[in-house]
Structure 1
Amino acid sequence: MFRRKFLQSLGTLGLGLTLPMGAVQAQAVKKATDQKVDLSAVGIKGKVQAGGKGIPGVVVTDGINLVTTDKSGKYSLESNATAQFVYISVPRGFEIPQEKGVARFYQPIPAGKPSFTADFELQKLTQDDTKHNFVVWADPQMINKKDAEELVNVSAPDLKKLVDGYGKNTLFHGIGCGDLVWDKFELFEDYQKAIGISGIPFFQVIGNHDMDLTARTDEGSSDTFKKLFGPTYYSFNRGEVHYVVLDDVFFIGTAKRYIGYLTERQLQWLEQDLSYVKPGSMVVVSVHIPVNSGEKRRMKLKDESLGGVVSNRKELYRLLKPYKAHIMSGHTHICEKVIENDIIEHTHGAVCGAWWTGPICTDGSPSGYGVYEVNGSEMKWYYKSVGHDREHQFRIYPKGTVKDRPEEVVVNVWNWDPEWKVTWFEDGVRKGEMKQEMGLDPLSVELHAGPNLPAKHKFVDPTMTDHLFWAKPSAGAKQIKVEVTDRFGKVYTQAQAV
């Protein structure tokens, strides 16, 4: 039934206004500027194959409607001139098509032609992909060549070392979770160089700093991104997991103004896309702006920030309800876990930390990225700090570090969620769980607080966080030890003199 949605969506523009069927027959619609929107029909056909043999059941889309390949790998779909790409949802069991690390699963649709043939050649994997890993790089956000050099010479080699540590037969892919650059499009070349160094294929998410700021509407704001990386929403498969990328940054037509919003066009496409996914399967959705966050509560705001969360997230939650869903996001330069019913959202600390001003984000989380280990329909994860091994999962601040709580020790556990336990010991004696309280990370206060800090970007300020834990040692205590147990039972420990 979803193929019929093509007819409903032919004229879908902007926020998803659906034109009546009669409009399909029109050759053009006039704008106030006398420019014309071409709605003429475009027939697309082709074949998806590997080694000369067609692959059946592959989902093919033009971003409006979806079809599947037949038993010989052939497909055809009726598109229209507003569609920019034809692309596939790469099926499980096949390599991710790439060009120097950039995933290439699409073909641009030539303008002005009534028909187009797009064939896709895939390579079958030599191993089962039921077990695989992926990483999420949020906010590389380079504004100059110095930032780019750090990404290329420090962050990228760190990721390569991590990947190599798993062994050459481990399947990995990456997701660049938006703000790949900081409005400086010439630095996209450095981003591509960095992911090329990592040695794994990367899929890209558009961020608010990846948009064309001179565009008059949201539709034109992704033109440069599309030229480099293809469509802004799509899906792919690896093992038993279905991956989806969405564009939730809606540009409102003036420089650097945007809201978190999913257009009707994307939601219609997503509903069709998910119709090919078995309920109960794991679905991983990647966006830039967090779908939800605790910012309103922590900052005691009257309303949610329009540019900080997705306003119409309830519909996304509804569509994801039948699945074991995870959402990957960035944008905020902090680490946060938001759990909505059975949906877990992973908001990642930034690869650039606090905009390349030092080793941490504004909540004290180290500059880093998420690492996810998938086995069938199960997934484990941890946060990888750049320049540290995977055991670096928390930081202890000794008694007296926080001036208004001089008798207490505070611990920042950046990838914490409610399934974690944070326990402390005093001189070898177990004292119990530390008390979780919201606050500011002391190192972030030291590096970021005040009108003159940090010198590089004075707008940076410490951010209130939920993942601080407190304890008050005895007056004569000599040493404390902190034991952090993640939701998977892995234990991390660190001892420090009081």
Structure 2
Amino acid sequence: MLSFPSRKHSSLRVALTALTTLAVAAAVATFPTPSTATPHSAPEDWDDSAYRGRIEVVRTSEGPADPAFLTGTVFVDQDRDSESDRGERGLAGVTVSNGRDVVTTDRQGRYRLPAYDNMTVFITQPSGYQVPVDESNVAQFHYNHLPEGSPELRYGGIAPTGALPDAVNFPVVRSQLTRAQEQHCVIAGDLQTYDRTEVEYARRGAIADLAERRDNQGCGTLFIGDVVGDDLSLYPDVKELTSLTNGPARFLPGNHDLDFDATTAEHSFDTFRAQLAPAYYSYDIGDVHVVALNTVRYPCTPDVDNADGRRPECDDPENAPRYNGRLDEHQLAWLERDLAAVDDDTLVVVAGHIPLLTFADEGSAIHQVDQVREVYDLLEGRRAVSVAGHTHSIENMRTGDLVQGWNDLFGVEGLPFPHITAGAISGDWYSGEVTDDGYPTAIGRDGGRPGLLTLDIRGNAFRERYTVTGESDRVGTRLGLNSPTYRDWYAERQEWNDAPDGAAPELGDPLVVSRDDLAGQTWLTTNFWMGSTGSTVRVRIDDGPSRPATRTQPMRGEDQLIGPEWSDPHAVAQQLVHGGSVADRTMHLWRLELPEDLDAGRHRAVVTATDAYGRRFTDVLTFRVVEQR
């Protein structure tokens, strides 16, 4: 299926929230989904079954036999004490890496790796086994080696580790949860808390949703970067949040997880590495291999990052340091070696913070990954899917999709496998009015709502699913009316926001259209957040026939379509009033022009959005036609 071709309340609130009713989805019965696979139940309580522990670091007065190499064992920890006791067997065939070299353990579970002064050694969790988690559910599978510790950094970095240990041993336990062919992998984008107020927003929002889930105990939750918003002292608060969830928590770094006072890329994620995880790594679940990449290079430099002149932001790292989407040479070499140890028919999930490619920033080189073509070459012939964050938008892009910037910047002529931008827990950076539930609406730049992505997996096939914060999986769309009155207000309100003078322009009732609106072209819009190529949207007005809506952004090589005509009116009506980004473009908006001859009075539109798998989401919009405003 996936092989190559390879953010306080206002007078508008009642009207705005009336734009849509609860959507009802019909799931395809042959694939694991909340409707069919009871993923919200599990055989055991996570707190009772979780393997809690740590890696074992062995030091003696003699030191290692050969300080040029790190050795150790991957062992099955039968008594769960995190110590390699006599009689506990080593586990053969486990992948171990120092971030450059990749080896597999021998029949006794032993490994031997070259030692470097700054390295993180980690194992790839094998299917059927679980690495330990700490009391915060953070997976423990790596050891940082930095003898003198980090240079002086505001948030501490890595404390001196001293000389190379005699051995670093990695404990695992058997796990039916990680062996199962059916998995539900949560991909959590951009938690990005800048302070403890926002930590509380996250707790009341998406983390509360995660705390209720039981379907992801095997695969866990992967937080794909921007775990915090520049203040790395909030990492303990984040770990307190993950302690509320069920299943392992893993992290990869984003551009707001940086040690910004690091002068070289070598130490730019030292605090992240000390607190959370390696900068990059992999793990296996069922028939899935997850590769968690570090796609952020900071500070970027003109010689490495702007050799082709497309990233001028990188030209003054001393006075104006910036980041760039890039894999360093060691990581790229590691990726090649890591994939070489993976069976060809395994589903590869490539996760990064900055996306390999993205619709939202399709014309920006620094917000996509320089070596996207090299990554595609390494994955050629494999079943694969890319998941990413960074853009605070939801993008479900399928094989063959294309926008102009990808071709102009990277020579890409179509996606070789699906790429999904996972949305964000923070949504539009916790902006907008605060809901009664205690977290902001935070509607995104694409009109998307904050939430979580799940990959529902069976064997080496997957289906993506997006769950809006505080909602059920059946909520997948938002409806609106894009009329000339709305478009005029859009321009007036945007101008007033830039230079407030007098009373702010008011939109009025967004569910009322005049006869002039209809004559001047009014569309009923459907923002289908996980809509993609292969999805359809049909609209039935009153007792009339069901008619197909048209996708505004076909993803067939065109440039972005931007402006009020292409915007999500429901989102913009809130964003221009309450703050945040403006949803003036999106790759998942469908629209149907309303007939000019609609009778005056109330009308009811029933919208059925069907995704590429045949799952249906039904939404209803009631609006009124008046002769004049």
TM-score range with shorter-chain normalisation? 0.7 to 0.9
Rounded Cα–Cα distance in structure 2 between residues aligned with 1:184 and 1:115: 32
Q: Which residues of structure 1 form unaligned runs of 5+?
A: 1-39, 298-303
1:55 matched to 2:91? The reply is yes
Rounded Cα–Cα distance in structure 2 between residues aligned with 1:463 and 1:288: 23
More displaced, 114-123 or 397-406?
Answer: 397-406
Match of 2:173 among 123, 127, 140: 123
Alignment-derived partner of residue 182 in structure 1: 229
CA displacement at 1:153 relative to structure 2: 2.6
8 Å CA contact 1:368–1:385 kept in 2: the answer is: yes
Alignment-derived partner of residue 418 in structure 2: 344
Match of 1:224 among 260, 271, 274: 271
Deviations 1:107-144 (A, max 9, x none): 22362535530111111014542111111111111111
More displaced, 381-390 or 469-478?
Answer: 469-478
8 Å CA contact 1:43–1:115 kept in 2: the answer is: no
Rounded Cα–Cα distance in structure 2 between residues aligned with 1:233 and 1:370: 21
Runs of 4+ in 1 over 6 A off after TM superposition: none
More displaced, 253-262 or 88-97?
Answer: 253-262
Match of 1:250 among 288, 297, 305: 297
CA displacement at 1:402 relative to structure 2: 3.8
CA displacement at 1:256 relative to structure 2: 6.1
1:259 matched to 2:324? The reply is yes
Alignment-derived partner of residue 21 in structure 1: none
1:482 matched to 2:607? The reply is yes
Deviations 1:353-411 (A, max 9, x none): 11101322121101111011111111112111001111110001146484366632111
Cα distance change, pair 80–172 in 1 and its aligned pair in 2 (3 A) = closer
SS of 1:307's partner is coil
Code of the aligned partner of 1:483: T
8 Å CA contact 2:137–2:248 kept in 1: the answer is: yes
Rounded Cα–Cα distance in structure 2 between residues aligned with 1:328 and 1:296: 15
Rounded Cα–Cα distance in structure 2 between residues aligned with 1:283 and 1:328: 11
After TM superposition, list the pairs within 5 Å mapping 1:193-232 onto structure 2. Answer: 193-232=240-279
Cα distance change, pair 246–305 in 1 and its aligned pair in 2 (3 A) = same
More displaced, 233-242 or 215-224?
Answer: 215-224
CA displacement at 1:350 relative to structure 2: 1.2
Please tell me the root mean square deviation across aligned C-alpha atoms, in Å: 2.2
More displaced, 403-412 or 120-129?
Answer: 403-412
After TM superposition, list the pairs within 5 Å mapping 1:79-90 onto structure 2. Answer: 79-82=115-118, 84-90=119-125
Aligned residues: 442
Cα distance change, pair 170–246 in 1 and its aligned pair in 2 (3 A) = closer
Alignment-derived partner of residue 101 in structure 1: 137
Code of the aligned partner of 2:72: G
Alignment-derived partner of residue 335 in structure 2: 270
SS of 1:480's partner is strand
After TM superposition, list the pairs within 5 Å mapping 1:34-433 onto structure 2. Answer: 42-50=68-76, 51=78, 52-82=88-118, 84-99=119-134, 100-109=136-145, 111=147, 113=163, 116-127=166-177, 128-161=179-212, 163-164=213-214, 166=215, 171-252=218-299, 253=317, 257-295=322-360, 304-339=363-398, 340-358=414-432, 359=441, 360-398=443-481, 400=483, 402-403=486-487, 407-433=522-548
8 Å CA contact 2:218–2:285 kept in 1: the answer is: no
Match of 1:465 among 566, 583, 586: 586
Alignment-derived partner of residue 24 in structure 1: none
SS of 2:418's partner is strand
Cα distance change, pair 116–441 in 1 and its aligned pair in 2 (3 A) = farther
SS of 2:174's partner is coil
CA displacement at 1:103 relative to structure 2: 1.3
Rounded Cα–Cα distance in structure 1 between residues aligned with 2:165 and 2:183: 38
1:447 matched to 2:483? The reply is no
Deviations 1:53-107 (A, max 9, x none): 221100011111011111121122222323x222100000012421112111112
More displaced, 223-232 or 105-114?
Answer: 105-114
Deviations 1:415-474 (A, max 9, x none): 111021111112244333201115222233223338xx52xx6xx443411211111233
Rounded Cα–Cα distance in structure 2 between residues aligned with 1:222 and 1:110: 13
Please identify which structure carries the higher strand content: 1
Cα distance change, pair 78–296 in 1 and its aligned pair in 2 (3 A) = closer
SS of 2:143's partner is strand
Rounded Cα–Cα distance in structure 1 between residues aligned with 2:192 and 2:321: 14
Rounded Cα–Cα distance in structure 2 between residues aligned with 1:71 and 1:193: 39
SS of 2:256's partner is helix
1:435 matched to 2:550? The reply is yes
Cα distance change, pair 294–341 in 1 and its aligned pair in 2 (3 A) = closer
Cα distance change, pair 210–463 in 1 and its aligned pair in 2 (3 A) = farther
Alignment-derived partner of residue 28 in structure 1: none
Q: Which residues of structure 2 form unaligned runs of 5+?
A: 1-65, 79-87, 148-161, 300-316, 399-413, 433-440, 489-519, 554-565, 624-629
SS of 1:230's partner is coil
Cα distance change, pair 65–216 in 1 and its aligned pair in 2 (3 A) = same
8 Å CA contact 1:141–1:179 kept in 2: the answer is: yes
Rounded Cα–Cα distance in structure 2 between residues aligned with 1:390 and 1:107: 38
Code of the aligned partner of 1:133: H
8 Å CA contact 2:480–2:568 kept in 1: the answer is: no
Code of the aligned partner of 2:169: D
SS of 1:98's partner is coil
CA displacement at 1:181 relative to structure 2: 0.7
8 Å CA contact 2:250–2:277 kept in 1: the answer is: no
Alignment-derived partner of residue 502 in structure 2: none
Code of the aligned partner of 2:545: R
Code of the aligned partner of 1:343: F
8 Å CA contact 1:110–1:116 kept in 2: the answer is: no
Alignment-derived partner of residue 36 in structure 1: none
Code of the aligned partner of 1:123: V
Q: Identical aligned pairs, as a percentage?
A: 28
More displaced, 424-433 or 350-359?
Answer: 424-433
8 Å CA contact 1:336–1:346 kept in 2: the answer is: yes
SS of 2:343's partner is coil
Rounded Cα–Cα distance in structure 2 between residues aligned with 1:110 and 1:410: 55
More displaced, 359-368 or 127-136?
Answer: 127-136
Deviations 1:24-44 (A, max 9, x none): xxxxxxxxxxxxxxxx96311
